[in-house]
Structure 1
Amino acid sequence: MIKRSLTALVSLLLAHSGIAQEPTRIEPPFWWAQMPVSELQLQLYGENIGHYRASIDIPGVSLKKQVAVDSPNYLFLYLEIDESVPAMTLPILLKNGEDRFTIDYELLEREATEGRNQGFDASDLIYLMMPDRFANGNLDNDEIEGLTEGVDRSDPTKRQGGDIQGISDHLDYIEDLGMTAIWFTPMFENNSPPSYGGYHGYAATDMYAVDRRIGSNASYKQLVSDVHDRGMKVIMDMIHNHIGLDHWWMSDLPTKDWVHDVEKFGYTNFKGTIPGDPHASQYDWNRLVKGWFVPYMPDLNQRNELLADYLIQNSIWWIEYSGIDGIRMDTYLYPYPEYMARWTQEVLTAYPNFNIVGEVWVETVAHESYWQDDPPNVDDGYDSNLPSVTDFPLSFAIRDGLKEEFGWTTGLSKVYYAFAQDRLYTDPNKNVIFIDNHDMSRVFEHLGKDESLFKIAYSILLTARGIPQVYYGTELMMGHENRGGDDEAWRQTMPGGWPDDKRSVFTKRGRTDKENEILSYMKAMNHWRAKSKALHHGKLLQFIPDENTFVYFRILEDEAVMVAINGGDEIATLESSRFAEVLDQYRKATVAPEGAAYKISEKITLKPRSAFILNLSR
């Protein structure tokens, strides 16, 4: 009891005297020599460390500035590191009067860049998965001391236990599907209370740590390396709009304006059209950008320079540490636009082969294209620097058009009109295209569990311009489960990913006959697309829909692909002469994906509710 009282007294005296001990956190935890950026911001956190001042006496390393903030427990250091500085332990001396101590900060040697940070493009096929819902390969990390929520498989709104080991165990399955890239929803620590449930990963409580229930930083890095060894790529999901309410910052914010005041700005209005709207009110703009996403996600203020630098550097740290090939930036249109433009520019300047896709959930092409790098017909001076956007307008056109009766503006005409507005994009072939994802109903369910419409949708996905993304389970034509909330209905676990599952969809024996049939169809389509340069780089030429049929081509010099869709319930017959401007340029045709020879005659017959695809060559 006496010893404990003395300890408390010493702590109290230290706090009042401004004396600190070594920081409890340094972020980033380490850095590298010869980085593509010379500036390094260090965020030091520890009791009263803001009263200290740093000095560095290493040739080639200069301390540009140091910033104490509202909380006395932070100190921000800005270092300029010359490219001549080798990997080393960098001593940083901190002094406050007579009190002093030294931090030994590690500058590591960079790894060879070959095979890392490759970017992704229209030659790729992206597999999107939610790690918690894919497979549980390590039961020992289901419950972790210090993390509030364990696995509860009786409740789909809670953690299910999927992890990095489970993903690693099934890389053969993903590669065999014909996927060339994997996008994982966030793996950052989400130490949320069970009442909220942070299984999705979008409420980060530590931006430098993989959630230990999923794995570790080291196991994530190894996963990226293992994916690369198979000739595939990895896309990391990041969020700079918000953090989780239980992020360690929230108990001691560095500055008063680190997050937006929810009492003043409330919650976002989710209207992504506002930034591109020339008539938008300031009130609505403030609600979009400064309002919290949900009560459990504090909204970050990227106009705070220290925070903006922190976030940009965090991205660069993960790219360098893990070797990832791209980033999918969540809620891209919700932060300050000028910050997102700066972030994108700095990341792509540091890693020129890299790629970024921003999640821009809007309904119209005009508002989607606003966010792509240097878009035509934008006269407000904004340029996002963003190469790729998520093509929600095309997704909605496919999903809703296939459900509707055909008309001038309905049914397959919706897909036609989506393509017809491609002039608004800087480069529509850089759009990430999809027919469902983790925030939408599964496409098979959305289309009334109609297998024919499902196959038409998938055919459009693989043949349209852009970078196709497939949501996990789509290869099995997954529908919905009638439990949990809406999100959980389409975020099922993969049967066989858990030791106590009654069957495994990762094996032919564990799948139903229908699942094996659909899987075979999709594998054939995926591997066919991988070989088609016309689908990767060819221009799109389309013909207006006619009586519920729609025809378009992808054309690249000596090869082309013809896509003929019949959305009706009856056999349709097309006059070949209508498409002579393309067909007359090619002498050979084969049916995709099987490759059987096909002779183009005066008429082309289409089966009801089907997509007919031809490979054309000279």
Structure 2
Amino acid sequence: MKKLPFILLFTSFHLFAQEIEHIDPPFWWTEMPTEELQIMLHGEEIGDLEPSLEYAGVSLESIEKLPNRNYLVLNLKIAKQTKPGTFKIALKNGKSTQLAIDYELKSRTLDSNRNMGFDASDVIYLLMPDRFANGDPSNDTIEGMFEAADRSNPNGRHGGDIKGVLDNLDYIKDLGMTAVWLTPTFENDMKPSYGAYHGYAATDLYKVDRRFGSNEEFKAFVEKCHGMDMKVIMDMIHNHVGDQHWWMKDLPSDDWFHDIEEYGTTNFRGEVQSDPYASQYDLDKLQKGWFVAEMPDLNQRNPILAKYLIQNSIWWIEYSGVDGIRMDTYVYPYKDYLADWVSEVMTSYPNFNIVGEAWVEKVGHEAYWQEDMEGQDDGYDSQLPSVTDFQIMFALDQALTEDFGWKNGLSKLYYAISQDRLYSDPMKNVVFIDNHDTERFFTKMGEDPDLFKMGYAYLMTIRGIPQVYYGIELMLANDPVSGDGRKRADMIGGWPEDKRSVFTREGRTKKENEAFDYVKKLTNWRKGAEAIHKGKLTHFIPENNTYVYFRHTEDEAVMVVMNQNEKEVEMNRDRFAEILNDYKKGLNVGDGSTIDVTTNFKVGPKQTAIFELKK
């Protein structure tokens, strides 16, 4: 009996000599839009301890103990007048303090050029950091991380990083881009057998992957973009994480993830969410099935996890100053959670914007996910400002490659856009002709430069917020390899060992310079085209393999003529008199030539001609 105190003392020492392994979020700010703060602590058996703190303006409102004793969740309130500083969180065993954690409250940065949002006046340049440029070869391989860089593997890491993007921001700006979207930069410390160079299998949501750089480098990247009048869109994923996430090594609770043994992998049918006749089986399969076997599916109906994810978004917005979020796999999680997430983010940052990836098959399914959809009768309001407009991409692919006919060819564009009444605001749709998950546009067009130019001109003039995929300015085609790596080739010249550089005119081929000049001219022209940013759309039913539409405000108008014929066509101006009667001439944006729009006019073969109308 006399040895018992010694045994207890030894056990106590052994238990509490362990350090806290994770504190999420790692710090916070004063004067935030919300006074609530949830802190997750993770360390060996800290759930057995009782926390306390003393700091003016900060109160510990409640404590939540998870089934796993290695977790402790603190719910704090940070009063509006709280001063920045550091306070201690004491973790006690009875009256004895076993651990004391320093927690910092920083002062907010309230510059007006942060969190600006994005809209139809922008053109978004989407790039994959691993495949764009390797600015720091020293971080290609990090000791202790699973995967090293190997450019010989098209589906593995190649070594691109944030510094590589920073080094080439002048190139992006020169193209006319006003916003940059990076695929996720979160830590993705996944095994090489999976290949998580793309960033969509996060293993720590509060850290930039060290092979890309650091949190500080990401923040510096955002600040540099802002200094060059470019915005930054951050890619996030709340549907899943990677199977090497630290949660998977020490599960907070049994309901943190959905059970793959019960639900398997998802059915990839996002349409189920808006289907009034959907079976519960199909709905469960969509929402609870894992995206792939290496991506555990998050259960956002666990309230602690839901709060964690929402707060993580707010932390990155506040920390980095990003202007928008693109949320991956938007149609897979619980839709009530998504509406709550959007609401909290947009309430906190009213000038912000969010686009959700809604990869679905029909316009009605797409429109379901945009806020306040007219005529929606299931009572759901997503509150989401923007959706990815896959319908435009699908229609353009068909329009430029199908046989002609009154139901085919350019009519596909007409049928898609004529359903815009289903969207609450189609001008907020993010439109694109390819991205990191699709075949490259030049490949889809059979590597036909004329069709490529027709499609890019359409993208620059149709309603919505255009997004272009890195390399499109070079008419980059798919690589002749298998796997997703075929769509994600390196930018030649982004690596020290490359023999030429597409980032310079001298390093580009004649074909690449032709594409670059075309993309640069149209994109930069669009920056000043008010009728494209804010104008109404009036279009005319396609006839004889031509499609004519106008973008117009009270003060200016742009006429777009798509001619898919192999020969020049004459356009009957009387058909378009309701717009053209106010104008006399049309300045061709492409070649600077002028046409008389008071009479019939001609448009050359296989082109999308853009005319600024003049009175």
TM-score (norm 1): 0.96
Name stretches of at least 5 consecutive residues in structure 1 with no aligned partner: 1-8
Amino acid in the other structure paired with 1:39: E
SS of equivalent to 2:152: coil
SS of equivalent to 1:283: helix
Change (3 A) 1:146 1:17: closer
Q: Deviations over 1:458-509 (max 9, x none)?
A: 0110000000000000000011111241x11110000000011111000111
Does residue 1:529 correspond to 2:563, yes or no? no
| CA distance in 1 between partners of 2:10 and 2:158 (Å) | 47
- Corresponding residue for residue 494 of structure 2: 497
| CA distance in 2 between partners of 1:10 and 1:434 (Å) | 67
Amino acid in the other structure paired with 2:303: E
Amino acid in the other structure paired with 1:264: E
- Corresponding residue for residue 421 of structure 2: 423
- Corresponding residue for residue 35 of structure 2: 38
SS of equivalent to 2:165: helix
| CA distance in 2 between partners of 1:595 and 1:93 (Å) | 71
| CA distance in 2 between partners of 1:283 and 1:500 (Å) | 52
Does residue 1:58 correspond to 2:55, yes or no? yes
**1:549-564 paired onto structure 2 within 5 Å:** 549-564=546-561
8 A contact 2:584–2:597 mirrored in 1: no
| CA distance in 2 between partners of 1:432 and 1:99 (Å) | 56
Amino acid in the other structure paired with 1:569: E
| CA distance in 2 between partners of 1:36 and 1:563 (Å) | 45
| CA distance in 1 between partners of 2:58 and 2:84 (Å) | 12
| CA distance in 2 between partners of 1:99 and 1:267 (Å) | 48
Q: Alignment partner for residue 450 of structure 2, among 446, 449, 452?
A: 452
Amino acid in the other structure paired with 1:378: Q
Instruction: Quote the offset at 1:363 in angstroms.
Output: 1.4
| CA distance in 2 between partners of 1:494 and 1:48 (Å) | 48
8 A contact 2:590–2:609 mirrored in 1: no
Instruction: Quote the offset at 1:588 in angstroms.
Output: 4.0
Instruction: Quote the offset at 1:388 in angstroms.
Output: 0.3
8 A contact 2:571–2:601 mirrored in 1: yes
SS of equivalent to 2:251: coil
Q: Deviations over 1:66-116 (max 9, x none)?
A: 101111000000101111001011222221224313211000111133210
| CA distance in 2 between partners of 1:62 and 1:595 (Å) | 66
Q: Deviations over 1:493-539 (max 9, x none)?
A: 00000011111000111100111111111111011110100000101
Q: Deviations over 1:247-297 (max 9, x none)?
A: 000011111100000001111000011111111111000000000000000
Q: Alignment partner for residue 280 of structure 2, among 265, 279, 282?
A: 282
Does residue 1:609 correspond to 2:606, yes or no? yes
Does residue 1:234 correspond to 2:232, yes or no? yes
SS of equivalent to 1:55: strand
| CA distance in 2 between partners of 1:239 and 1:340 (Å) | 11
- Corresponding residue for residue 4 of structure 1: none
- Corresponding residue for residue 248 of structure 1: 246
- Corresponding residue for residue 338 of structure 1: 336
**1:162-173 paired onto structure 2 within 5 Å:** 162-173=160-171
Instruction: Quote the offset at 1:20 in angstroms.
Output: 6.2
| CA distance in 2 between partners of 1:12 and 1:542 (Å) | 81
SS of equivalent to 2:72: strand
| CA distance in 2 between partners of 1:471 and 1:592 (Å) | 23
8 A contact 2:129–2:160 mirrored in 1: yes
| CA distance in 1 between partners of 2:371 and 2:10 (Å) | 55
Instruction: Quote the offset at 1:604 in angstroms.
Output: 2.0
Amino acid in the other structure paired with 1:183: W
| CA distance in 2 between partners of 1:222 and 1:475 (Å) | 26
Q: What percentage of aligned pairs have identical amino acids? A: 56
- Corresponding residue for residue 90 of structure 1: 87
SS of equivalent to 1:598: strand
8 A contact 1:442–1:478 mirrored in 2: yes
| CA distance in 1 between partners of 2:19 and 2:453 (Å) | 60
- Corresponding residue for residue 151 of structure 2: 153
Name stretches of at least 5 consecutive residues in structure 2 with no aligned partner: 1-5
Instruction: Quote the offset at 1:11 in angstroms.
Output: 12
SS of equivalent to 2:542: strand
Change (3 A) 1:288 1:12: farther
**In terms of mean alpha carbon deviation, does 92-101 or 495-504 score higher?**
92-101
- Corresponding residue for residue 378 of structure 2: 380
SS of equivalent to 1:63: strand
| CA distance in 2 between partners of 1:19 and 1:96 (Å) | 9
**1:168-183 paired onto structure 2 within 5 Å:** 168-183=166-181
| CA distance in 1 between partners of 2:316 and 2:239 (Å) | 17
Amino acid in the other structure paired with 2:147: E
| CA distance in 2 between partners of 1:12 and 1:405 (Å) | 83
8 A contact 1:20–1:46 mirrored in 2: no
Does residue 1:369 correspond to 2:370, yes or no? no
- Corresponding residue for residue 568 of structure 1: 565
- Corresponding residue for residue 3 of structure 2: none
Q: Deviations over 1:305-339 (max 9, x none)?
A: 00000000000000000000000000011000000
| CA distance in 1 between partners of 2:409 and 2:12 (Å) | 69
Amino acid in the other structure paired with 2:110: A
SS of equivalent to 2:327: strand
Q: Deviations over 1:527-559 (max 9, x none)?
A: 111010000010111100001111011011110
Instruction: Quote the offset at 1:52 in angstroms.
Output: 1.2
Does residue 1:139 correspond to 2:150, yes or no? no
| CA distance in 1 between partners of 2:497 and 2:11 (Å) | 54
Amino acid in the other structure paired with 2:419: Q
| CA distance in 1 between partners of 2:243 and 2:217 (Å) | 26
Change (3 A) 1:282 1:496: same
SS of equivalent to 1:146: coil
Amino acid in the other structure paired with 2:536: K
Amino acid in the other structure paired with 2:513: N
TM-score (norm 2): 0.97
- Corresponding residue for residue 115 of structure 2: 117
- Corresponding residue for residue 208 of structure 1: 206
8 A contact 2:201–2:295 mirrored in 1: yes
Instruction: Quote the offset at 1:146 in angstroms.
Output: 1.4
Instruction: Quote the offset at 1:574 in angstroms.
Output: 1.3
| CA distance in 2 between partners of 1:611 and 1:347 (Å) | 39
Instruction: Quote the offset at 1:51 in angstroms.
Output: 0.8
Amino acid in the other structure paired with 2:37: L
Instruction: Quote the offset at 1:21 in angstroms.
Output: 4.1
Change (3 A) 1:26 1:77: same
- Corresponding residue for residue 585 of structure 1: 582
Instruction: Quote the offset at 1:56 in angstroms.
Output: 2.2
- Corresponding residue for residue 99 of structure 1: 96
Amino acid in the other structure paired with 2:30: A
- Corresponding residue for residue 393 of structure 1: 391
- Corresponding residue for residue 75 of structure 1: 72
8 A contact 1:119–1:354 mirrored in 2: yes
8 A contact 1:456–1:609 mirrored in 2: yes
Q: Alignment partner for residue 465 of structure 1, among 438, 463, 485?
A: 463
| CA distance in 2 between partners of 1:548 and 1:363 (Å) | 25
Amino acid in the other structure paired with 1:72: R
Instruction: Quote the offset at 1:601 in angstroms.
Output: 4.3
Instruction: Quote the offset at 1:202 in angstroms.
Output: 0.1
| CA distance in 2 between partners of 1:501 and 1:484 (Å) | 23
- Corresponding residue for residue 45 of structure 2: 48
SS of equivalent to 2:274: coil
8 A contact 2:187–2:202 mirrored in 1: yes
- Corresponding residue for residue 514 of structure 1: 511
| CA distance in 2 between partners of 1:274 and 1:10 (Å) | 58
| CA distance in 2 between partners of 1:296 and 1:164 (Å) | 25
8 A contact 2:585–2:598 mirrored in 1: no
8 A contact 1:50–1:72 mirrored in 2: yes
SS of equivalent to 1:275: helix
Instruction: Quote the offset at 1:409 in angstroms.
Output: 2.1
Amino acid in the other structure paired with 1:494: M
| CA distance in 2 between partners of 1:10 and 1:409 (Å) | 83
